[in-house]
Structure 1
Amino acid sequence: MKRILLASALALAATGAHAQNVTLYGILDTGIEYVNHANAQGDATWRMPSNTGGLMPSRWGLRGTEDLGNGLKALFTLESGFGVDTGVSGQGGRLFGRAAWVGLSGNWGTVTLGRQSNMTFFALLDSDVMGPAVYGLGSLDNYIPNTRSDNAIGYRGTFSGLTVGATYSFGRDVAASGGPAATNCAGEVPGDRKACRQVTALLKYDLGPGGVAAAYDQLRGGTGAAGGLSSSDTSDTRTVLNGYYRFGDLKIGGGWIGRITRAATRSEANLYYLGASYALSPAWTLDGQVAHLKNKTTDARSTLATVRATYSLSKRTAVYGLVGYMDNNKNANLSVSGGQALAGLPNGLNQTGVMLGMRHSF
């Protein structure tokens, strides 16, 4: 009898193990960066960037699926961002600041609940050649590497190459400190349904070697929120149009991001980008991108040019080098690294950044 019970228990355990799959994964990415014009005296600095990485931000996570039968699956992701330089958690110090959601998936698409990437992330995924790299589009708009929403319900489905999706957040950002990844807008305020609400939508079509995408992203403000969005009547809206195409080993991507901010004052800006990626060999990849940001309200204009070379030592390990140059006009003051203003430095100052680093995934 004991043998029968033990065999039954082992059979049940084995069945459970096959029914649910959990994966531990992660990326460690860091390097040494040189940036000129780093202070009011015009001095350069050498540093190890925090929380950004060179190719992509460092993270670790757990991803799981459970087969519920009849094509239905339960899903979850817990993902934590951190800086390899100090080990400090990113995204405003949250334990799972990159993702913390649970959902259901079927042939009709996927529904997710929790902190998750919104549709702006998915719209930029193929056309933005540099992605979340240290001298990428985030240097012109620091929201772009932080396209996540707290307290959100999301849907995304793909049907014969056409992808549709949307998210709705009841309170887009509960963290209070940490730059663009923590803007103090928790929402869920009784009597003010608009407070800290965020709505995003996606329409994307991929066919063969290319595709196009469009997205809409509106953040509402709330009491005490950062970025001048101090009430639910204020808003920050981005519209995205882009596309990409592959010619064998060459990929070209580009697009436009229009932004309208309605806060104490109205601001309107356009961001254009065009990039290319070429696989020189199975190990070597060369990327380049040019992006231009113009604030139509203030006539502030910044142009960012970036070149990157990556050498894959294996499927999981790569070394790389990046060079970025930020050209600011007399009304602009953006840093080449990190998308922040050049604190204490005059408008019109240009900046160059160089980074050598290493990425390992597991």
Structure 2
Amino acid sequence: MKKSALLFAILGGSAQAALAQSSTTVYGVADMGLVVENGSAAGSITKLTSGVGYGSRVGFRGTEDLGDGMSTKYVLEAGILMDSGASAQGGLAFGRQAYVGLTGSPGSVTLGRQYTPYYWTLLTVADPFVTGYAGTATNLMANPGRANNMALYTTPTIGGVTGELSYSFGEVAGNITASRASGGSLGYVNGPLVIKFSFNNATNATGTDNAKNLLLASAYNFGPVKLHAAYAQNKGLGTTNTQDGLIGVTVPFGASRILASYVAKNDKSGANRDAHQFGLGYIYNLSKRTELYTAYAHISNKNGATYIVGNGTELGSGNSAFNLGMRHFF
């Protein structure tokens, strides 16, 4: 019956039958907050910012059952700057995500603009601030967030173990190595324990140099508190050579949760431009979909280091920042 319906849909004979096998969901995030940044040579700044914690967005996700345990899926997700109404990600129509793929018992394959496996490890395991607010770990740690032209394979979960492999085509004529990237992750989940290792390797626009990032992250949920820890090695373009360490906690209680983390960057070069960040946040759930939040972070730079405190959308301007805002999921 499903094969017949699919055949009629292809021939244009039964649109209703095709629609009956698929589903599409519209979803989004509306996030606005007050941001106060200090420590810049230009002076402090106070502003309203979109996406302080989670980038504001509207998205479409859908699936279609192909039978025999196989299905298609797609995501089209547009970033929105709610303070101005403009598109985020440099004005791209679907700059956050845009991919299509197949999923089934052998795993899934998705194609398009997607998040790297490295970023998912930082987001879901390492960082109690989930790469948002003033305390985001990405103020000091590498953030290979999205990649264009990516083919991503995700294995099925077997005995708590799952893996990912990605390859992003550079699409530079006559130079197969230029602007390409590869990555992957291997994770293990056993009840309250999560351990995940990820890597990302990105080549520059001429194919003559590359950035290599390794990340080992873990989290353990004791119930009243969730502990986070991470260690990263970065060998970037040119002579960059750094190590990062993170420890953090998530403390849920009632309708609230407290977030805190300490991130240290160790510059292995002769300049020894180290930095340390402390972040603290508080989130209160007004309902299942609406939250109030506040956060603060400060970076101590050493030997001329110039790291700054940003948030989920902006890079920031100084070495400390305060956030106060509201977020609604729909």
Provide the TM-score with structure 2 as the length reference: 0.90
Using the aligned pairs only, state the percent identity.
Answer: 29
Question: What SS does structure 2 have at the residue aligned with 1:159?
Answer: coil
Which secondary structure does the structure 1 equivalent of 2:150 belong to?
strand
Q: Which residue of 2 aligns with 1:309?
A: 282
* 2:138 alignment partner in structure 1: 138
Q: Secondary structure at the match of 1:97?
A: coil
Aligned to 1:288: 260
Residues 341 and 329 (structure 1 numbering): CA distance in 2 closer, same or farther, change over 3 Å? farther
What is aligned with 1:55? 53
Whole-Å Cα distance in 2 between the matches of residues 341 and 232 of structure 1? 30
Partner secondary structure for residue 305 of structure 1: strand
Structure 1 residue 341, shift from structure 2 partner: 8.3
Letter in 2 for 1:314: S
Is 1:275 the counterpart of 2:275 in the alignment?
no
In the alignment, is the contact (CA less than 8 A) between 2:139 and 2:307 conserved in 1? Answer: yes
1:244 paired with 2:245, answer no
Q: Give the 5 Å matches for 1:137-156.
A: 137-141=137-141, 143-144=142-143, 147-156=145-154
Deviation at 1:54, TM superposition (A): 2.3
Range with greater deviation from structure 2 (31-40 or 18-27): 31-40
Partner-residue secondary structure (3-state), 1:16: helix
Where 1:122 maps in the other structure, the secondary structure is helix
Aligned to 2:302: 329
The AA in structure 2 aligned to 1:354 is F
For 1:249 and 1:95, locate their aligned partners in 2 and report how far apart those are by CA, in whole Å. Answer: 41
Question: Within 1, Cα distance between the matches of 2:49 and 2:139?
Answer: 13
- Where does residue 300 of structure 1 map in the other structure? 273
Once the two structures are TM-superposed, the CA of residue 340 in structure 1 deviates from its matched residue by 5.0
8 Å Cα contact 1:161/1:207 also seen in 2: yes
Q: Distance in 2 between matches of 1:131 and 1:341?
A: 17
Normalised to the residue count of structure 1, the TM-score between the two structures is 0.82
Distance 2:310 2:161 in 1: 35
Aligned match of 1:118: 116
Q: 1:323 to 1:61 in 2, by over 3 A?
A: same
Which runs of at least 4 in structure 1 moved beyond 4 Å after TM superposition? Answer: 338-342
Distance 1:330 1:156 in 2: 42
Are positions 1:357 and 2:329 aligned together? Answer: no
Between 270-279 and 325-334, the greater mean CA deviation after superposition = 325-334
Structure 1 residue 122: deviation in Å? 2.3
Q: Could you report, residue by residue, the CA deviation over 1:65-121 in whole angstroms, capped at 9, with x for unpaired residues? A: 000000000000001112111122222221111111000000111100111111112
Residues of 1 paired with 2:25 and 2:315: CA distance? 35
3-state DSSP class of the match of 1:291? Answer: strand
Question: In structure 2, what is the Cα distance between the partners aligned to 1:340 and 1:328?
Answer: 16
Structure 2: distance between partners of 1:65 and 1:249: 36
Name the counterpart of 1:199.
182
CA distances 1:36-88 after superposition (whole Å, capped 9, x unpaired)? 22334xx32211235xx222111110000000000000000001112111122
Shift of 1:13: 5.4
Q: How does 1:124-273 map to 2 (within 5 A)?
A: 124=122, 125-135=124-134, 136-141=136-141, 143-144=142-143, 147-157=145-155, 158-171=157-170, 188-222=171-205, 231-263=206-238, 266-273=239-246
C-alpha distance in 1 between matches for 2:272 and 2:215: 21
| CA–CA distance in structure 2, aligned partners of residues 340 and 78 of structure 1 | 25
Question: After the TM superposition, which residues 38-117 of structure 1 pair with which residues of structure 2 at under 5 Å, given as runs?
Answer: 38-40=40-42, 43-50=43-50, 53-117=51-115
Number of the residue aligned with 1:174? none
Q: What are structure 2's unaligned runs of at least 5 residues?
A: 1-8
Q: Would you say the 8 A contact 1:25–1:62 is kept in 2?
A: yes
Distance 1:358 1:340 in 2: 20
Q: Compare the two structures and name the one with the higher strand fraction.
A: 2
Letter in 2 for 1:17: L
Q: Which has the higher contact order (CA 8 A, sep 6+)?
A: 2
The count of corresponding residues between Structure 1 and Structure 2 is 314
For the 8 Å contact 2:310–2:316, the answer to whether it is kept is no
